[in-house]
Amino acid sequence: MIRDATEHDLPAIRDIYNDAVLNTTAIWNEQKVDLANRLAWFNARQALGYPILVAVEHDEVTGYAAFGDWRPLEGFRYSVEHSVYVRNDQRGKGLGPRLMEALIERARACGKHVMVAAIESGNQASIRLHQRLGFIITGQMPRVGIKFGRWLDLTFMQLALNPGAEPPKE
């Protein structure tokens, strides 16, 4: 089941996030976060009217997805960047695509125009997932990050949420 996250889900979201921090290059942070950090993140998304979705099985959060503003400048207000993370023991079971599909629909419902993905270039599974969902590669940035003692490359992908739409009248 995929549903909107509640504050009750934050410990599980924190744990999934921290596992990605410690064990993957999906997040380029190197320090774990605490519950206060996730609560501030949750409240910031809520204040903007942005969703945080969770996948739940047997009352356990098995993954989550969210989006936020891509850049803080007003000219980018119709573009969002997303994150999707699945608990390490649940990967490969189709949760990522289901979370992404639900998140894409929510972004469309919010009137967003483009969804951006920033993916560590070695994460071919994530790149393929995004391509299956219609994202296209729009940029490559070699050696812009570092984690686990090595340089990381960044692949930008984007999905037009409402292709051909005219800009809103201001």
Tell me the CATH number at 37. Answer: 3.40.630.30
Question: What average pLDDT does the chain have?
Answer: 96
In a domain, 112, yes or no: yes
Task: Give the separation between CA 149 and CA 167, rounded to whole angstroms.
Answer: 43
Q: What is the pLDDT of residues 48-68, one digit of tens each?
A: 999 999 999 999 999 999 999
In a domain, 151, yes or no: yes
Structural contact between residues 2 and 55, judged by C-beta atoms closer than 8 angstroms: yes
Give the model's pLDDT for residue 27. Answer: 94
The residue-averaged pLDDT of 118-147 equals 97
Sequential DSSP letters for 79-111: EEEEEEEE-GGGTTSSHHHHHHHHHHHHHHHTT
Model confidence, pTM: 0.94
Number of domains, the chain: 1
Q: Reply yes or no on whether the pLDDT at 22 is more than 80.
A: yes
Q: Reply yes or no on whether the pLDDT at 170 is more than 80.
A: no
In a domain, 148, yes or no: yes
In a domain, 169, yes or no: no
The residue-averaged pLDDT of 78-88 equals 97
In a domain, 165, yes or no: no
In a domain, 166, yes or no: no
| 81-108 exposure pattern, b = at least 16 Cβ within 10 A, e = fewer | bbbbbbbeebeeeebbebbbebbbebbe
The residue-averaged pLDDT of 97-112 equals 97
Give the model's pLDDT for residue 132. Answer: 97
105 is in which domain, residue-wise?
2-160
